[in-house]
Amino acid sequence: MAHNNRTIVVGTRGSKLAMAQSGQVLEALRAAHGQVDFRLEVVQTRGDQDQSTALGESGVVGFFTRELELALMQQRIDLAVHSLKDLPTSQPDELVVALAVPEREDVRDVLVTRERVAMVDLSPAARIGTGSLRRRAQLAHWRGDLTFEPIRGNVETRLRKVAEGQFDATVLAMAGLNRS
């Protein structure tokens, strides 16, 4: 990477988790290219703005990435940091996906309950907030009596929704909890 006396602008979503992940990428870039200036630019995506539409119902490709792609193509940012799970399967021809895989985080999912009980002790028909079909299928396999409802928002929002009683529980990635 050649330094031409300009700052490399790194685009990211503004959630606490996205900022933590982007911070890790910036740390690695600065360590590898100490002579280059880098700065983060927060880009609000449709997925950040629309907290009510269930992910599977949005019908939008790039719900969490499209605005970052546009910022790249308009040269407002030089690169963007995403979780790979948020990327659509195809990208605009003008862009290149460069994978930078940080050290593997904890891969487990965590059941967060309002009553601080194990899954086997949840009441019958307990309301589980999840937007993940995979998590829903896994939980339904173990407890067919559970009720699943869509949940949206960042880690803090999902934890708050459980604490407020909107759901009896939610399932979150341990990696997200660790980074938030």
- The region, left, alpha or beta by phi > 0 then psi within -120 to 50, assigned to residue 165 is left
**Is the pLDDT assigned to residue 56 strictly greater than 60?**
no
Percent of the chain whose pLDDT exceeds 90:
42
Would you please indicate which residues are annotated as catalytic (active-site) residues? Answer: 86
pLDDT digit string, tens, across residues 69-116: 889 999 999 999 987 777 777 788 888 888 776 777 788 899 999 888
Average pLDDT for the chain: 84
Q: What is the DSSP letter of 74?
A: T
At 5 the pLDDT is: 66
Pick the more confident residue, 21 or 52.
21
pLDDT digit string, tens, across residues 144-163: 999 999 998 888 889 999 99
9-13, 26-30, 86-90: which has the minimum mean pLDDT?
86-90
Q: What are phi and psi of 149, to 5 degrees?
A: -130, 145
**Is the pLDDT assigned to residue 13 strictly greater than 70?**
yes
At 10 the pLDDT is: 95
